[in-house]
Structure 1
Amino acid sequence: MQVLAAVFLSALALSDVQAQAPAPGLTLDVLHWWTSASERRAADQLAQQLAQAGVLWKDAAIPGGGGMAAVKVLKSRVLMGDPPDVAQLIGNTLTDWADIGLVLPLGEVAQRQRWAQVLFPTVLERVSYKGEVVAAPLGLHRINTLLFNQRLLAQAGVAPPHSWAQFEAAVRAVQAQGGRALAWSDEPWQVATVFEALLLGEAGADLYRELVVQRRPAAWLDPRVEAALLRLRWLRSLAAEPPRERVWSDNARALWQGQAAFLIMGDWALGELLAWGAQEGRDFGCAALPGTTGMHLYSMDTLAMLRGPRDRASVQETVAEVVVGVGAQLAYNRIKGSVPVRRDIDPAALGPCSRDSWETFASARSQRLPSLAHRMAADETIKDAVAHTLWRYLTQAQTSTQETQRRLAAVIRAPSAER
């Protein structure tokens, strides 16, 4: 990243003449990875909100699960001296870019809009770095989400499960009816998504923080980590097929069409179901994954304003103002499946799943935990290493649980500085 910054800042210095005369118009180049049906609709909704404020959204969507391809494209564009005006940067990836000076500070916007008063404290903390606000928060996703097909459960004569014993009974009932219990993908980031939700349920909030936030390698040898890994392998066995990497939206469609009774996935899957016309409470429902009631394992969508050879600061600040406003927050998150980052909205405006997510995050009694799989608690290198270790554990039957615990302990490193 230091080399990246040096190359880009050199290009920036060479462009001082052009910077004195900004290009006409209010068009901003926005790089992101929202390409599924619901994500596309949510991005379009943001574009409409911005158009009303006189800002035109020039779309630069990069397909690829989890944003890995988009991050590569972003680095390439910065090296070429052509960064986007706005980029979807989240979690520790955001702070990495802010650390090398490529992100426009948004402190004046935050002060004008009273972000300290209207945003959840955790949200404001996540978009702040070294005393500066460095991104505009869009929405909160709940990772520990269990989605289920209402009709399949009714046919099997079971209620939505709230414990693992109830889940296992529901699996047997669905299978007895000839149905498929769980939609599954062996794509590494999806495996990591499922595992961290299982880990939270088995380990509890305190041990989860030791494992993921404090990154204490010895903690990964705890028996509760072993229990989470064994449950992960059991869930994989429900697929009853060779390893296969399905796109996450294909699994959401399988749930909607009755090809699977359950799906463990972040609540972006909720947005996808709604985009296809499914009705919450009739076609599907959702709940916290067993063992995680009262906990919110979160990731957060954020937009960073990047420094570039053209002076676009005033327009970039307008983007931040619009997307954090109440109107854009409600419109975007209703489509995306996520929930607003503001604590001053009326939860009655949200659907049942989203309302439970928002109220859990808002409650002083709840536990709010950052996702490792979605960059909230780890950088790209650690996140990818954990995902690959878990993928290897599931796809290579000879790999033992204890060996996997040791490998996870080896790839986890203590944070180099307080975030």
Structure 2
Amino acid sequence: MRKFSVKPLQAAAALALGSTMLLAHAGEVEVLHWWTSGGEAKAAKALAATMQAKGDTWKDFAVAGGGGDSAMTVLKSRVVSGNPPSAAQIKGPSLQDWAKEGVLANLDDVAKADNWDANLPKAIADGLKYKGHYIAAPVNVHRVNWLWVNPEVLKKANVKAPTTWAEFFTAAEAIKKAGLIPLAHGGQSWQDFTIFEDVALGVGGADFYKKALVQLDPATLKSAKMKEVLTTFKKVKDYTDKNAPGRDWNLATAMVIRGEAGMQLMGDWAKGEFIAAGKTPGKDFECVAAPGTSKAYTYNVDSFAMFQLKNEANIKAQKNLAGAIMSPAFQELFNLNKGSIPVRLNMNLDKFDSCAKQSSKDFVETSKAGSLVPSIAHGMAVSSAAEGAIKDVVSQYWNSEKDTPEQVMDKLVSAAKAK
């Protein structure tokens, strides 16, 4: 039996008008995402407005939770039941996993019309394809390895924004003595892991990072350098507050905005929160590369995978959505709200702030230097199974006094084998 569902209100309206044919005139896009905080919600609304201007209906399917884990659980149940949304926020190696299931739509016609191959960096474009065909549309590039700083707090503590981990601990100690929280943090596994990859990159450098956290090389995961990373990582926890466990990332950002905390290690979506709060970069807050990582760049590219649909009007609306996402106007509007930078190359950045311009400059330079690396914490580097297993090991180490760095290294090697 062919599955077919019409929303009750739509059906009632159609019957009242005497013709179900009216439903075919405009398409509906149901979009699953996890952009629910201030700056992110604004960005999502910008995409909804873009679609509505094309005459399509936007059905918002927002699932709260910064890392997207909850959203993926919901998505799996929808797809298994044969009722996928039009589009879902999926990225990195997970795109390939969904494509292998045979449930994603081919976007080559949209990509060819707008010449995506020329308008995207090759490394990014390759990640959006399966067997040479586009299966997702990218909205942005996030830099993950940022340190967000409240200059007033640093001034009270008489310290400068740290550029090395040694400087970080000196500054953190001074902020603590001034009676404030050195590092705002949310104790969720993806946030713990964001700090972990910042430390790995800052202590070990880009080549170490690639071997350990992209290639999952056992020898590197058990090296003396990894022991130094783990020791440094655990020391960072001493400068977070006792209420951190379970805190959402945007609430940690709010602590820096209000001057309760001096710093936060978080991707550039945090900037959207500062902007939404009316703060000015360079004046009310500073963005500096995470300690030791100024010559490297961990990236997170948000993208929307398009699922195979049967309704022709909805398929057309879905293609409209893919085209709108990559349009220069939307790339500008969305990223101004989101805190990220356009993924589309050669765009005018005049409207963007100093943090975004620095991010764009570093993105281009690190891609040439070979120090542009995918964020493992944000689903860009390894399989979801390996990522999940490694995240668990790192969070257990962060939250417990049981394991030594040597024991954690053994656990990391085992976790890296998860399929």
TM-score, with length taken from structure 2? 0.91
Please say if residues 148 and 288 of structure 2, whose CA atoms lie closer than 8 Å, have aligned partners that are also in contact: yes
Greater shift, 359-368 or 318-327, is seen at: 359-368
Q: Where do residues 51-66 of structure 1 align in structure 2 (5 Å cutoff)?
A: 51-66=52-67
Alignment-mate amino acid for residue 191 of structure 1: D
Q: Deviations over 1:198-225 (max 9, x none)?
A: 1111221112111222222222001111
Secondary structure at the counterpart of residue 390 of structure 1: helix
Q: 2:135 aligned with 1:134, yes or no?
A: yes
Mapped to 2, the partners of 1:305 and 1:185 lie a distance apart of 32
Matching of residue 368 in structure 1 with residue 372 in structure 2: yes
Report the counterpart of residue 3 of structure 1 in structure 2.
Answer: none
* 1:92-241 map, 5 Å: 92-239=93-240, 241=242
Is the 1:181–1:262 contact (alpha carbons within 8 Å) kept by the matching residues of 2?
yes
Structure-1 separation of matches of 2:417 and 2:332: 38
The 5-angstrom pairing of residues 248-259 of structure 1 reads 248-259=249-260
Counterpart in the other structure of 1:406: 410
- Distance, in Å, in 1 between the alignment partners of 2:62 and 2:242 is 33
* Unaligned runs of at least 5 residues, structure 2: 7-20
Say yes or no: does 1:320 pair with 2:325: no
Shift in Å, 1:124? 0.8
1:382-401 paired onto structure 2 within 5 Å: 382-401=386-405
May I ask how many residue pairs the two structures share in their alignment? 401
Is the 2:176–2:239 contact (alpha carbons within 8 Å) kept by the matching residues of 1?
Answer: no
- Partner in structure 2 of residue 277 of structure 1: 278
CA contact (8 A) 1:296 1:366 kept: no
* SS at structure 2 position matched to 1:261: strand
Mapped partners of 1:180, 1:39: distance in 2: 26
Show CA shifts across 1:57-108 (max 9, x none): 1101011231111111111111222110111111111111111211111111
CA distance in 2, matches of 1:165, 1:92: 34
Offset at 1:175? 2.4
SS of the aligned residue for 1:355 comes to helix
Q: 1:16 to 1:167 in 2, by over 3 A?
A: closer
The letter for the 1-side match of 2:398 is L
Asked if the contact 1:243/1:395 (under 8 Å) is kept, the reply is: no
SS in 2 for 1:374: coil
Please tell me whether residue 343 in structure 1 is matched to residue 317 in structure 2. no
Q: For residues 272 and 88 of structure 1, what CA distance do their matches in structure 2 show?
A: 20
CA deviation profile, 1:291-348 (whole Å, cap 9, x unmatched): 1112110111101110134233322111111111111001101111111001111233
Distance in 2, Cα, partners of 1:241 & 1:171: 15
**Corresponding letter in the other structure for 2:369:** R
Segment of structure 1 superposing worse, 83-92 or 210-219: 210-219
Contact kept, 8 Å, 2:137 with 2:325, in 1: the verdict is yes
How far off is 1:153 after superposition? 1.3
Whether 1:380 aligns to 2:384 is yes
User: Quick check: 1:184–1:236 contact (8 Å CA) kept in 2?
Assistant: no
Q: CA deviation at 1:24?
A: 4.1
Query: Displacement, 1:165?
Result: 2.8
Moved more, 290-299 or 167-176: 167-176
Q: Tell me, in whole angstroms, the C-alpha distance in 1 between the residues paired with 2:348 and 2:227.
A: 41
Q: Any conservation in 1 of the 2:43–2:337 contact (CA below 8 Å)? A: yes
Q: Distance in 2 between matches of 1:316 and 1:374?
A: 25
Q: Secondary structure at the match of 2:293?
A: coil
Alpha-carbon deviation of 1:240? 5.2
Distance 1:123 1:408, change over 3 A: same
RMSD (CA atoms) = 2.0
Counterpart of 2:358 in structure 1 is: 356
Compare 237-246 and 347-356 and name the one that shifted more.
237-246
2:37 match: 36
CA contact (8 A) 1:26 1:315 kept: yes
Counterpart contact for 2:164–2:202, Cα < 8 Å? no
Indicate conservation of the 8 Å contact 2:299/2:373, yes or no: yes
Q: Distance in 2 between matches of 1:143 and 1:41?
A: 20
The one-letter code sitting in structure 2 at the alignment partner of 1:139 is N
Query: Where do 5+ consecutive residues of structure 1 fail to align?
Result: 1-10
For 1:409, the aligned partner's letter is V
Residues 187, 246 of structure 2: 8 Å contact kept:
yes
Give 1:228 shift: 1.4
Moved more, 170-179 or 88-97: 170-179
- In percent, how many aligned pairs have the same letter? 33
Q: 1:16, 1:278 → 2: CA distance?
A: 48
Query: Counterpart of 1:399 in 2: which secondary structure?
Result: coil
Q: Would the aligned equivalents of 2:26 and 2:55 in 1 still touch at CA under 8 Å?
A: no
Tell me, in whole angstroms, the C-alpha distance in 1 between the residues paired with 2:232 and 2:60. Answer: 41
How high is the TM-score relative to the length of structure 1?
0.91
The aligned counterpart of 2:13 is none
Please tell me whether the aligned partners of residues 117 and 125 of structure 2 are also in contact (alpha carbons under 8 angstroms).
yes
Cα-to-partner distance string for 1:8-49 (whole Å, 9 max, x where unaligned) = xxx8xx34999xx98442221111111111111100011112
Match among 329, 332, 337 for residue 330 of structure 1:
332
